[in-house]
Chains A and B, each alone.
Chain A
Amino acid sequence: MKTFAELGFPGRLIAVEGLDGSGKSTQIYLLKRWLEAEGVKVYFSEWNSSELVKSATSKGKKRELLSPTTFSLIHATDFADRYERHLLPLLRAGYVVLCDRYVFTAYARDVVRGCPMGWVRGIYNFAALPDLTFFFKADLEVSLNRILDGRPKLKFFEAGMDLRLSPDPYESFRIFQGRILDQYLAMSSEFKFITIDANQRVETQQAEVRKLVNQRIDFDQFRRNSPLPLPPPVRRNGISKGKASDEGEEDSAA
């Protein structure tokens, strides 16, 4: 697997990963505000947010219709929809795309739910790797307390209740999150996660994030007024005939 930069995309993708309550969403939001202020073309995409797939997902969750396999597949569908319809075109147009959770969330969650790792990774292998992945690592207790302090009503799948870890949703949530953390840590070096100590103050973390982004990304290339980059070559595979797809492209360009 290659990153978008390695594949010759003019855009860059930055992903944040971490447990619920690790503060990653706050951090990526603040990063977005900064990039916008810098005049960078930026787009934010959230896990599980594709409009069309959402209604199926929420029905599945509400009625507890999801098994580990369908849970995995429906999230992959959601991801593919956002990937093909938003992420790819934006990255070809030279945007900086910010993703609150990326394929690693599926790698961690689905495997904890019992799906084979090779199967899950195989499904997501159409997606390129982020150019930067921040992993917000808080002590398990810290993340748990951020979520649980308010004693919120935990949703069935959120608490991992489908795994029958404990009849108590709070206990189930603790065990579930602990297992997800183990999965994240196990893949951290393989995918070159940049680990941010999420026990620190918001500003301290954000300063670290901004410093790293600034080092890795030359903003001048991604500003609104920068010239349109040349499109990278389109990847083709499978058995579809060249003729067929050429005509298809012509149609869509017309």
Chain B
Amino acid sequence: MKRSKTKLIVPSRSSRSFYGDGIPGVKPDDLAGKLIVVEGADGSGRSTQIALLVDWLETRGHATVQVGLKRSTLVSEELERAQNGNILSRTTLSLFYATDFADQLENVILPALKAGFIVLADRYIYTLMARDMVRGMDITWLKNLYGIALKPDAVFYLAIDPAELVQRNLAKTATLDYWESGMDLGLSRDLFDSFIEYQTLMRLAFRKLQRTYNFTTVDGNRPVDEVNAELQKKIEAVLVGK
């Protein structure tokens, strides 16, 4: 009888830390799982890539959990309402998002990592920081705020040309999202122009963050499979401990 391969990779333990003081009472070394972050604009292929990665990881015997922004039990509803009404000022919105992040960090990410899961984060603190930077928030203030965040095992930033992003977004929804176009900034009254300008500013902010947070930029202009193959290769290196 022909036997299938049953040997699985047991992820190596890595020494971990928080960016700042972290969460009171949480010891980072208790967290056996891996935290993989995929960053990028809407239309950069984040969700597609994450779905493929989940499939791939689970087939190979790893338990996974997915998290994303604005999914906390605590404030996601209120955050949605605030956004729709566009009534919050920048510091307030920033802190509201930080609350949402902290709630998921404490209730989903950390427990899952403790239990040895591979956590795939559809965006992490970098998107939140980049958005705030574009809106003029102080980077030192942001770094202090997100000192609660755990340093991930890998961060992939799917970089796409704004012109290509426009095409993908329009192909998907036939319109451009108000917030993804940065319309609150008053860059332009024209949605299309605003989108291009805002996404360019976001790329600049990400580039600035990259110097501090050292994530891997992945060329997202390529076909889905090609991008995924690159991600798989890099994640495999993380699992075996490089």
Q: Report which A residues bind B (CB closer than 8 A).
A: 52-53, 55-56, 59-60, 65-70, 73-74, 76-77, 80-81, 83-85, 113-116, 118-119, 122-123, 125-126, 236-241, 244-245, 247-248, 250-251
Contacts and interface: CB of A to CB of B under 8 A. Distances in A.
Interface stretch (B48-56, B63-71, B144-152): B144-152
B163 interface: no
Given A113-B24, A240-B134, 20 more contacts: A53-B92, A60-B74, A69-B24, A69-B106, A69-B148, A73-B95, A77-B99, A80-B94, A81-B89, A115-B24, A118-B21, A119-B145, A123-B141, A123-B144, A123-B145, A237-B137, A238-B135, A238-B136, A239-B133, A244-B185
Interface stretch (B7-15, B75-83, B164-172): B75-83
A240 B135 contact: yes
Contact of B91 (A80, A116, A118, A248): A80
Contacts of A53: 78, 92, 96
Interface in B145-190: 145, 147-148, 185-187
Contacts of A83: 91
Given A65-B103, A69-B148, A77 B92 contact: yes
Contacts of B141: 122-123, 125-126
Contacts of B23: 67, 69
Contact of B99 (A70, A116, A240, A244): A70
Contacts of B98: 73, 77
Interface centre among A52, A59, A85, by most chain B C-beta atoms within 10 angstroms, is: A52
A59 B74 CA distance: 7
A248 B87 CA distance: 15
B144 A66 contact: no
A241 to B, nearest CB: 8
Interface of B: 20-21, 23-25, 73-75, 77-78, 81-82, 87-92, 94-96, 98-99, 102-103, 106, 133-141, 144-145, 147-148, 185-187, 201, 204-205, 208
Contacts, number: 123
Nearest to B197: A244
Nearest to A247: B186
B96 A77 contact: yes
B82 A52 contact: yes
Contact of B136 (A59, A116, A122, A237): A237
B134 to A, nearest CB: 6
Nearest to B187: A244
A247 to B, nearest CB: 5
Nearest to B81: A52
A68 B103 CA distance: 10
A60 to B, nearest CB: 5
29 contacts: A52-B78, A52-B82, A53-B78, A55-B78, A59-B74, A65-B74, A65-B103, A67-B102, A67-B103, A69-B23, A69-B106, A69-B148, A70-B102, A70-B106, A80-B94, A84-B91, A85-B89, A113-B24, A116-B20, A118-B144, A122-B141, A122-B144, A123-B95, A237-B136, A239-B134, A239-B204, A241-B201, A245-B136, A251-B186
A236 to B, nearest CB: 7
B95 A119 contact: no
B24 A68 contact: yes
A67 B106 contact: yes
A138 to B, nearest CB: 29
A112 B75 CA distance: 24
B200 to A, nearest CB: 11
A251 B188 CA distance: 10
Contacts of B20: 116, 119
Contact of A74 (B21, B74, B77, B205): B74
Nearest to A123: B145
Nearest to B133: A239
Contacts of A85: 89, 92
Contacts of A55: 78
Contact of A248 (B147, B148, B185): B185
A251 B185 CA distance: 10
Given A53-B96, A77-B95, A244-B185, A238 B88 contact: no
Contacts of A114: 24-25
A209 B185 CA distance: 43
Contacts of A116: 20-21, 24
Contacts of B73: 65
A201 to B, nearest CB: 40
